[in-house]
Amino acid sequence: MHVIGTAGHVDHGKSMLVKALTGIDPDRLKEEKERQMTIDLGFAWLTLPSGEQVGIVDVPGHKDFIENMLAGVGGIDAALFVVAADEGVMPQTREHLAILDLLGVKSGLVALTKVDLVDDPEWLELVEAEVEELLEGTTLADAPIIPVSAKTGQGLPELVAELDALLQRTPPRRDLGRPRLSIDRVFSITGFGTVVTGTLVDGAFELGQEVEILPQGIKARIRGLQTHKRHIERAMPGSRVAINLAGVSKNELRRGDVVTTPGWLKPTQLVDVRLRCLADAPRPLRHNATLKFFSGSAEVVARARLLDSEVIPPGEEGWVQLRLAKPVALIKGDRFIVRQPSPPLTIGGGVVVDPHPRRHRRFHPEVIERLEALAYGTPQEVLLQFLQIEEPCQARELIERSGLTDEVATEALEGLLAQGRVLALDGGGQYLVSQRGWEALLERLTSILGDYHRRNPLHRGMPRGELREYLRRRIRGLSSKLFNEIMARAAREGKLVEEGAIVRLPEHRVRFTPDQQRRVDQLLAAFEREPYSPPSVAEAQAMVGPEVLNALIEEGRLVKVSEDVIFLTETYEEMVEQVIARLRREGRITVAQVRDMFATSRKYALALMEHLDERKVTERVGDERVLR
């Protein structure tokens, strides 16, 4: 399915031609009929000789309504470029052509209207020659020029036949499986509720499907679908669609919002673009200029940061980062137009290269190289650049950000994985990281752990949770699953060691100073002399200090069973073994019996048994313990 759009100067007969072709008057507003002038977008449709039904978007030609025109031409496949034979090329003829050229509309034909008002064949030839000259060097160069009269019907069959042939040569819209509809009309119908219209791109919509309206993030459901006033169950990319939405009111929506499937498309207020300044722009585009930005049917004020120059002269191109006043839902490859606010005038346009960049330093070679790779690189280069912007990331998210078709992106990704330029953290390919990004991440991990070891030389390692919090500040959206996969791969590569809830560098060992080691030997000797009534925690800390005592506990040389009781590990294991053996023989045991078994005091016996209760080895029943 295809959509065509009219373009041309005011009063050159665009709406009259659409009505003559379709039988539908696209001027729907009362003011339009009173003033006999198109003010806002109009819509019609036509069945071609081949049987294809095409949608027609009729746009206003008056200079005061250019911005309404921009809301309609963003989604068209071909242009019906209208020039009145009695007037020839006029100011908005040139501006509309420039807009079509900037939007990359490559298919089109010229309708030379009102030929019934021209009696002089030489004048008609002059106008045709003027139009041909105007089209040179644009995307519509060599477009057929067909003289027509909406009033008499002259040339209309030839126009329809040429349009049919043109659309047969125009490739269908791509289906990425990620539908987007930029809303150009919002209204409500009694008994049905909210209805929006627009041209559907990049995927299909189905009846009953859940959708999301951006940038607001409103969830809704498709209650009904129509194309050309015909009810359908599935709307295909490239078609004009009316969607009846359930769960959202008319007042919540506006022109420029985007209807899509939930969860994948993120609105943005910062966007990197390749911008071309029109050759007839009145002045160069300067750094920090305020502009009006148009893409799809959205319109928003923007400030232009020029990244590789102080100005972009008329007819030249440059890399620009646009700061948008409001969020807009954009993807890589979207076309846009920019206008100066006062006096209102189209000055340029181009293509979105990165819809979610960071703020860049100006005149930085690495920034320009990355943008050139995104704009002109191979699919592998595009994927790699997007991955390096924010990594690690999920494979599906990377493919969606790239603007590539699933087939092309999957093939490119498989190549990068095979070459080792991209790594799958878990081996299965869910989370991806570039080779360079992985090396940087490992360097960050080892630096964090190294700093921790230097600050805490007597700690066996860094608590896993603390390391995760450090990484969370540096990796946006760090989930538990992603953190676990980073840790697992780093451990497999021997870059770190995980020991339960502790993480350390492989070379890290707790090492005591000679003085500390002397005091440790004295403490352990005291534990060996009185294994069942050893020094308390407070006494042990007094002998070696809190940090050294904690190091001995972390190393597993001592076991802390309560806030005040610790045992040598060998003694603790022996006591536990004997208690369990007695319970298996006799079934029950008291604290007093434990005290007598080891000729110790109640303090140590009670601490041991409460510790075994906490470990769920034993269970208290009255004054006795039994095995769980």
Strand pairing report for 180-182 and 145-147: unpaired
SS3 235: strand
Residues in the chain with pLDDT values less than 70: 27-40, 61-65, 72, 427-429
What whole-number distance in Å separates Cα of residue 448 and Cα of residue 467? 8
- As given in the structure block, the two tokens for residue 99 are 């807009």
SS3 380: helix
Query: Considering all CA atoms of the chain, what is the largest pairwise distance in Å, rounded to the nearest integer?
Result: 127
Number of CB atoms found within 10 A of residue 144's CB: 14
The total number of residues written for the chain in this structure: 628
- As given in the structure block, the two tokens for residue 376 are 């002109």
Name the nearest CA neighbour of 399 among 436, 432, 427, 358: 432
Name the nearest CA neighbour of 103 among 299, 350, 277, 279: 350
Q: DSSP 3-state helix, strand, coil percentages of the chain (rounded to 5)?
A: 35, 30, 35
Which bin fits 155, alpha (ψ -120 to 50), beta or left (φ > 0)?
Answer: left
What whole-number distance in Å separates Cα of residue 237 and Cα of residue 222? 16
Name the nearest CA neighbour of 300 among 403, 440, 182, 221: 182
Euclidean distance between the first and final Cα of the chain, in Å? 72
The residues facing 393 across adjacent strands are 432
What whole-number distance in Å separates Cα of residue 497 and Cα of residue 483? 15
For 489, half-sphere exposure in the C-beta direction (CA atoms, 13 angstrom radius) is 22
What whole-number distance in Å separates Cα of residue 340 and Cα of residue 358? 25
The residues facing 320 across adjacent strands are 273, 306
What whole-number distance in Å separates Cα of residue 573 and Cα of residue 42? 86
- pLDDT in the model for residue 223: 95
- pLDDT in the model for residue 67: 74
What whole-number distance in Å separates Cα of residue 521 and Cα of residue 228? 90
Place of tokens 């029950």: 588
Per-residue model confidence as pLDDT tens digits over 65-87: 577 777 767 778 999 999 999 99
- pLDDT in the model for residue 32: 44
Q: How far from 526 is each of 111, 117, 242, 455, 542, CA to CA, in Å?
A: 104, 117, 86, 30, 13
